Amino acid sequence: MSETFEKQKTIDLRNKHIGPSCKVFFSHDPIKIVRAKGQYMFDERGERYLDCINNVAHVGHSHPDVVKAGAKQMELLNTNSRFLHDNLVQYAERLQATLPEPLSVCYFVNSGSEANDLALRLAWQYTGHKGIITLDHAYHGHVSSLIDISPYKFHQMTDSKNQTVFVAPCPDIYRGKYREDHPDPATAYSDEVRDIIQDAHKKGHKIAAFIAESLQSCGGQIIPPRGYFQKVAQHVHQAGGIFIADEVQVGFGRTGSHFWAFQLQGEDFVPDIVTMGKPIGNGHPMSCVVTTRNIAEAFMSSGMEYFNTFGGNPVSCAIGLAVLNVIEKEDLQGNATRVGNYLMQLLNQQKAKHPLIGDIRGVGLFVGVDLVRDRAKRIAATAEAQEVIYKLKEQRILLSADGPDRNVLKFKPPLCFSEEDAKFAVEKIDKILTEIENAILLPTPSASYSSNGIQEKCYDEKVHKWNLNGTCSQEAVDSHDSGPSKKRQKVKEYIK
């Protein structure tokens, strides 16, 4: 059903005509999806996959209300925003009602990248400054201006980075510079931003904006300490800059308790610009920038018209309205809280059982599982995370691994994800982790040595840790060679 070509022909045509840097999931055995409903996707053979990663299909794949709203408006009219149309103003009014004052002026665009690029233009025009502070590991989009402020991408390039871009440490209290044992990580991380500003000033730069995702996604499901944004905003405002909150991945109720993820920081924090994308149209390409009247007026004062052929067209706005209606009607925020809490509870039970799980962090249906080879040293278990993803795919569950070391399992499913789905996914993860731990942490004695005789890993009795670098004591080597049941016991000790 819905297949024009056989799978192999689709692969061949894709290889021939689509840019090679456009990657597919599971490149050695890609999945061909032909239809989807709710939180499930179906391949060409009718096999069902549980979708734990699609934060675009926010209210569920192919939601009938959204489909109907788009089709109905398409039958009637689609045109650009130079004509008056009620959908545009009605949608802007509804969207604004979800945001705190003074965020009240919308620019409708077509992708998260367009939204962030426009946000930079607004910041440059409003402040008259050029410098942008971004967070380490951030990703804000694929256009040139955003690659420049996306260390997740530009760290992969050899060219030197844009001189007006400054990278602040990611406020990650698990792996970052200041961790959960720090008395005040929010202040410590925001002081880093203050120092960057002072440094930039000394070099003759002026700061236009600080940009951050309200919760960092590609960076590894990072939840900044509460109060961090307020303190950063204070430093940035003092320097004449503004605060841009990128909600492209995490907005529209994903966090459950709040409609916007920046609101987790507290009611005393309001960004100057919010950018939106992915979930806004449930798969329809639309996005938005919302800002204050003052910033919008300053942008106007340049004298240049802002025109966007597709942004804010009646079809997109009808779809956007339908998405907002479904979130409300189906209490998807409530579901995100309930199912998210249940998922966290199940995962925490797994943490008590699996040494590979170093950290579990999340809010609502935005959850990360940080896999480690060594809990004390927090060494990223990259290959193991990939193994989990591939094995889950075999079980018809779609999950991804991200973060700078690609070791963080990322849950960001459609908000209709259920408790049964969470239970099913976690049961499979449990099984896979057990298999991997048996294979890695409980190697056969010979597997502990490389072909040239160098000891690769063993359980070090003295420090109760698996040592992967071959520096174990003789007793450790002896205990390591003493058979699987004893080794299993060692793993139990390690878990404690």
- Cβ 248 to ligand PLP shortest distance, Å: 4
Contact flags string 253-292 toward ligand PLP, x per CB under 6 A: ------------------------x---------------
- Cβ 74 to ligand PLP shortest distance, Å: 21
Among residues 58, 61, 63, 140, which is the contact residue for ligand PLP, using CB under 6 A? 140
- Residues 63, 283: contact at Cβ < 8 Å? no
Q: How many CB atoms lie within 10 A of CB 71?
A: 13
Stretch that binds ligand PLP, among 45-53, 111-119, 262-270, 312-320 (CB under 6 A): 111-119
> CA-to-CA distance for 426 and 429, rounded, in angstroms?
5
Closer to ligand PLP by CB, 66 or 244: give it: 244
Q: Which of residues 195-254 bind ligand PLP (CB under 6 A)?
A: 213, 217-218, 246, 248-249
Q: Which residue, among 300, 299, 258, has the nearest Cα to 99 in the 3D structure?
A: 258
Closer to ligand PLP by CB, 232 or 289: give it: 289
54 lines the binding site for ligand PLP (CB under 6 A): no
139 lines the binding site for ligand PLP (CB under 6 A): yes
* Torsion over CA: 244, 247, 251, 254 (sign): negative
The DSSP secondary-structure symbol of 405 reads T
- Residues 236, 243: contact at Cβ < 8 Å? yes
Q: Which residue is nearest to ligand PLP (CB)?
A: 112
Q: How many residues does the chain have?
A: 496
- Cβ 376 to ligand PLP shortest distance, Å: 32
- Residues 132, 164: contact at Cβ < 8 Å? yes
Query: CB burial class (10 A; 0-12, 13-18, 19+) of residue 393?
Result: middle
- Cβ 299 to ligand PLP shortest distance, Å: 20
Among residues 112, 312, 403, 413, which is the contact residue for ligand PLP, using CB under 6 A? 112
- Cβ 97 to ligand PLP shortest distance, Å: 23
Tell me which amino acid residue 414 is.
P
Cα(first)–Cα(last) distance of the chain, in Å? Answer: 51
Among residues 113, 134, 263, 316, which is the contact residue for ligand PLP, using CB under 6 A? 113
111 lines the binding site for ligand PLP (CB under 6 A): yes
- Cβ 434 to ligand PLP shortest distance, Å: 32
Contact residues for 457 (Cβ-Cβ < 8 A; gap 6+)? 440, 443, 448, 466, 467, 468, 469, 470
Closer to ligand PLP by CB, 248 or 389: give it: 248
Residues in the interface with ligand PLP (CB under 6 A) total: 15
Closer to ligand PLP by CB, 280 or 433: give it: 280
Closer to ligand PLP by CB, 148 or 246: give it: 246
Closer to ligand PLP by CB, 55 or 333: give it: 55
Contact flags string 314-343 toward ligand PLP, x per CB under 6 A: ------------------------------
- Residues 280, 320: contact at Cβ < 8 Å? yes
Q: Which long-range contacts (CB under 8 A, 24 or more apart) does 182-191 make?
A: 185/225, 185/228, 186/224, 186/225, 186/226, 186/227, 186/228, 186/231, 187/227, 187/231, 189/224, 189/225, 189/228, 190/228, 190/231, 190/232, 190/234, 190/235
Stretch that binds ligand PLP, among 137-145, 184-192, 193-201, 456-464 (CB under 6 A): 137-145
- Cβ 115 to ligand PLP shortest distance, Å: 7
Closer to ligand PLP by CB, 165 or 476: give it: 165
**Which region, left, alpha or beta, applies to residue 312 given φ > 0 means left and ψ of -120 to 50 means alpha?**
left
Q: Which of residues 429-488 bind ligand PLP (CB under 6 A)?
A: none
3-state SS assignment for residue 344: helix
116 lines the binding site for ligand PLP (CB under 6 A): yes
Which residue is listed with tokens 């106007």?
300
159-179 burial: b if 16+ Cβ within 10 Å, else e: eeebebbbbbbbbbbbbbebe
Using CB under 6 A as the criterion, which residues of the chain lie in contact with ligand PLP when the complex forms? 111-113, 116, 139-142, 213, 217-218, 246, 248-249, 277
